[in-house]
Structure 1
């Protein structure tokens, strides 16, 4: 049950050479995560940010090939591990058969004071269900 997030590479993503400026990929990754929380988890960021958030505690990304203005890439998000307050994700972005980047990240659910807090039972159940679908 991978989450699929299509993204057209826009002018705002590119450097003067017309390829994606790598920090923009992190914005695209965050857009994918935000859409995942809204579409799959049922916890839109605008609701979540009323009492906390899910900052990225760790991210590792390997850039395989450049993307250019106008490309249409597809990000595929998979839940790898759900902890008490953490979530490990994998995101692979491709255009057709060509992988553009692979990213692994850990998010942590925090309360309004920025301290880690446990996932609500309903949210954790949805994350685990998503993870089991990817196995």
Structure 2
């Protein structure tokens, strides 16, 4: 199973040449992760950050850009879980438009507790992440 999200390329995403300015991709990738946490894990960022005073920062990110994306295109984001660690989560995201690969990104998120240090994932999140990954592996 994979999580899918479509994001239109808007003027605010683009440089003067009308192509996506690369830092905007990272905002869209993070938006996809945020929506994944809310939609699939039922653990929205507002709960994590505001209610629980915890965080899920990105500890590592690696991106390969295959082709430019242009103003007006619709980008398809596909997120998959590669590995669930004690306090980390490794994700793979692929971005395409019209069937053409645009970007591949791997990132590692870490659960950070109230004390500002890495801590184990809460059981409610870990269980759903593992189920999502197992469902993906079986497909």
TM-score (norm 1): 0.98
- Helix, strand or coil at the partner of 1:25: helix
Q: Distance in 2 between matches of 1:101 and 1:86?
A: 23
Q: Distance in 1 between matches of 2:28 and 2:72?
A: 15
- Alignment length, in residue pairs? 135
Q: Distance in 1 between matches of 2:105 and 2:96?
A: 12
After the TM superposition, which residues 30-109 of structure 1 pair with which residues of structure 2 at under 5 Å, given as runs?
30-50=30-50, 51-109=53-111
Q: CA deviation at 1:132?
A: 1.1
Is residue 26 of structure 1 aligned with residue 26 of structure 2? yes
Q: Distance in 2 between matches of 1:103 and 1:92?
A: 6
Post-superposition CA distance 1:24-78 (Å, at most 9, x none): 0000000000000000001100110032110000000000000011100110000
Q: Which residue of 2 aligns with 1:3?
A: 3
Q: CA deviation at 1:119?
A: 0.8
Structure 2: which 5+ residue stretches go unaligned?
none
The root-mean-square deviation of aligned C-alpha atoms, in Å, is 0.7
Post-superposition CA distance 1:76-132 (Å, at most 9, x none): 000010011100000000112201000000000001232001111111010001111
Q: Distance in 2 between matches of 1:93 and 1:114?
A: 32
Moved over 4 A (4+): none
